[in-house]
Structure 1
């Protein structure tokens, strides 16, 4: 194929994927609009008031997602049509020339390109992030961030991402350049080490830059979690609570670590009876307790304050049920299976990349007369592999759904059936999950089975 045909084939597929995704989203959005009354099958699971809140929240998110997706696709198309990628590459070359470097310093030019590209992406996406946080999440009572906290968080996130991405990208290009015919083996091994290292250090060194982690206090919950871990030979070493309530009232729990060094992290928003981690003396004046507000001002304050979505959290038995599900992923080998699948895919993709990296026609299709390594990575992995990536994504989603059912069944065998059902209903309510789903949208997008499917599976006899 000639360069022009390759470009238009990739461009056409990109829009076909967008239209397919848009069609599925429109089917789900139609349910948000039309299924106004609580379906009979949900009686006893959710009340009409919560159902209405969930429907409106998800409708707002879906409508916003439509405009974000449309803008993103148009922006992406304009970048490709008007040569935005080669333009940024040329600008990067001009910048390094001012400091005495030329095009032979490809790694230096690639780093500058990466900085420009990430800065552009951050700036163009920021208005949508602000709207999502301070309009949609705020409107439905989830946002806990002040504008100042949000700005500091975004700046911190940008520089932390840069600090990680720049050295990894530079080393990756260097390995490709010196690796010879079998560089893809060395690249695969390098990225495997990097991914394992990131998993190891993320929660201990990176996540604390954004959120406060505190050991779970001694008490019944901690004792029972430790007993649960011991009963299934889970090598628990640390148990944390993360101050998720500082940015959002959404709840979560996870574990991390390798071999005999596992940690469990609970969001404070998950715990029913957990007190805020910050003392009143640490709160700004705007967050003073109600008692500190004069009586004559209380009504005025309450009128101005956005309506907050009230969460209920989980009791100890329900938290143990949620953790038994999460630990089921470990006990059933889902973590290792996902890692193996990911690494096999990575190896095969880099082997294919090694075959395509010297095909000048691919670079010419995107406006390049040379073959910069970083540009080759972008073109091949983001565009040439896009049909394969779509198929792989769907297969991974299906596998993940199967793993979720298996983890639920693991919790069931540990006698947490009733508590897990209760926890799933509470978490769905706390996070305003909408329980009515279009089958096509759900099949394509949901890596976790919908609430009713999980409850039905838990009700089946063992």
Structure 2
């Protein structure tokens, strides 16, 4: 094992030397990569636009979408897409401005001057790093409020989904910022301290640290954090509670609590989920789902969700995420001391190896610059993750169907689709890139095969031929 570690260190060292070359135009590379990513996303979005002009719903939904509802769904989808396109262009422009005007280096220097004014020693690198990150977060978050406000009070309001108030919007924002500071800053401090202590061996220790943080947040978030935003009440006795408890017992799901959440306080969209430790799980159902569905349909939705648990989908996704994190940190170890990268963005290149003020190296700068360079490559990761989650959705649907909930799950999904005004038509590439779930027509057709494997394995052309054949039979 030690031989493998030594060989890996040698490879990383050689790659780091090759990457730390002044002739590499890192600043230009980031601009071009970001531009290509933006162009790609705009291209994918552009492919979806014609779908909102299709005059009739898919055949699987033609008996469930009234004419006016179909028009509303098309209009809602078009407005959301236009919003997404505008936000993508805005984000690219802001990122470009940050690079062009040297905002990253300028804010690092300004937070250093602030520390000097208030009497904080320049050698306290971690304090400087936390102030810098807080500053960067604020100057991007404050303009972002306008986008959030528009989405909530203009777009969602226009289509009848917004239930929030300006007061609630403001308090939610302040709570989110406070929680981000209370949780995020200590985690970042720990992240930087581990790298400072562990040196070149930081990857393994950082993996353990971040895995521990993720597990803690999974437990803490629904118990202590989400109640700051929503009210949880026990599901009252009745048919629905009896059905859910019987389903959990049948599957040996370790159900300990069953809650209703007041999702209608902010939106009329619906959802249901579970969380907790392996031996103690809690199920949460949105009040909007209960209001719009029969007890049998809610039970079918939960059969789908418990299918994810039964088939170990959450655990598999955690393992995939850890693999991606490991890859990210290993590549970061190549760039952590890259003087050429620091200098390309206006930083003192000495900061790549140490702090001129006598403190530890400001690792956070290298990590942010590294993210700027490699973030566009996450486009590939996004495709991969969506392909996995879509497959898991088919499997969870099949699980519910095999339990005897085919009709109820289909009816529930159709109601959710109709009530949420989900887009009836989706471009194949757009859906693969943006959607973690298959489209509703795909799910309904897959459920007819009980496992979903038949439809999942078909080529796009074969799917079109099957649809055409089905149309002939219906006519």
Structure 2 length as normaliser, TM-score? 0.86
**Match of 1:409?**
398
Q: Give 1:39 deviation, angstroms.
A: 4.6
**Match of 1:219?**
238
Q: Go from structure 1 to structure 2 and tell me whether the alpha carbon gap of 1:3 and 1:131 turns closer, same or farther (over 3 Å shift).
A: farther
**Match of 1:270?**
289
Question: What does 1:223-234 align with in structure 2 at a 5 Å threshold?
Answer: 223-234=242-253
1:2 aligns with 2:16: no
Question: What does 1:109-124 align with in structure 2 at a 5 Å threshold?
Answer: 109-124=128-143
CA distance in 2, matches of 1:71, 1:388: 20
1:26 aligns with 2:46: yes
- Residues 31 and 437 in structure 1, CA contact (< 8 A), matched pair in contact too: yes
1:441 aligns with 2:430: yes
CA distance in 2, matches of 1:178, 1:461: 54
Q: Go from structure 1 to structure 2 and tell me whether the alpha carbon gap of 1:177 and 1:227 turns closer, same or farther (over 3 Å shift).
A: same
1:385 aligns with 2:404: no
1:11 aligns with 2:1: no
| 1:223-256 deviations in Å (ceiling 9; x for gaps) | 1111101111110111111111111111111111
| 1:401-450 deviations in Å (ceiling 9; x for gaps) | 10000000000111000000000100001111011111111122211000
- Residues 34 and 376 in structure 2, CA contact (< 8 A), matched pair in contact too: no
Q: Secondary structure at the match of 2:326?
A: helix
CA distance in 1, matches of 2:278, 2:85: 43
Q: Give 1:387 deviation, angstroms.
A: 4.5
Q: Give 1:202 deviation, angstroms.
A: 0.4
- Residues 326 and 407 in structure 1, CA contact (< 8 A), matched pair in contact too: yes
CA distance in 1, matches of 2:86, 2:248: 45
**Match of 1:128?**
147
From 197, 203, 207, give the equivalent of 2:222. 203
**Match of 1:141?**
160
CA distance in 1, matches of 2:378, 2:276: 28
**Match of 2:319?**
340
CA distance in 1, matches of 2:311, 2:58: 35
- Residues 6 and 362 in structure 1, CA contact (< 8 A), matched pair in contact too: yes
Q: Give 1:181 deviation, angstroms.
A: 2.3
Deviates more, 1:146-155 or 1:15-24: 146-155
Q: Give 1:2 deviation, angstroms.
A: 2.9
> Structure 2: which 5+ runs fail to align?
1-20, 353-361, 452-475
1:327 aligns with 2:306: yes
From 443, 446, 449, give the equivalent of 1:457. 446
Question: What does 1:283-362 align with in structure 2 at a 5 Å threshold?
Answer: 313-362=292-341
- Residues 386 and 435 in structure 2, CA contact (< 8 A), matched pair in contact too: yes
CA distance in 2, matches of 1:440, 1:263: 36
From 74, 90, 96, give the equivalent of 1:71. 90
**Match of 1:424?**
413
| 1:127-163 deviations in Å (ceiling 9; x for gaps) | 1111111111111110011111111111111111111
Q: Secondary structure at the match of 1:254?
A: strand
From 279, 293, 318, give the equivalent of 1:260. 279
**Match of 2:18?**
none
- Residues 3 and 364 in structure 1, CA contact (< 8 A), matched pair in contact too: no
**Match of 1:373?**
363
Q: Secondary structure at the match of 2:446?
A: helix
CA distance in 2, matches of 1:376, 1:137: 39
Structure 1 length as normaliser, TM-score? 0.88
Deviates more, 1:22-31 or 1:324-333: 22-31
Q: Give 1:346 deviation, angstroms.
A: 1.3
Q: Give 1:45 deviation, angstroms.
A: 3.1
CA distance in 2, matches of 1:128, 1:385: 26
| Root mean square deviation of aligned Cα | 1.4
- Residues 93 and 102 in structure 1, CA contact (< 8 A), matched pair in contact too: no
CA distance in 2, matches of 1:94, 1:58: 48
Number of residue pairs the alignment of both structures matches: 420
- Residues 88 and 113 in structure 1, CA contact (< 8 A), matched pair in contact too: yes
Q: Go from structure 1 to structure 2 and tell me whether the alpha carbon gap of 1:461 and 1:223 turns closer, same or farther (over 3 Å shift).
A: closer
**Match of 2:204?**
185
Q: Give 1:384 deviation, angstroms.
A: 2.9
| 1:267-321 deviations in Å (ceiling 9; x for gaps) | 111112xxxxxxxxxxxxxxxxxxxxxxxxxxxxxxxxxxxxxxxx111111111
> Structure 1: which 5+ runs fail to align?
273-312
- Residues 58 and 441 in structure 2, CA contact (< 8 A), matched pair in contact too: no
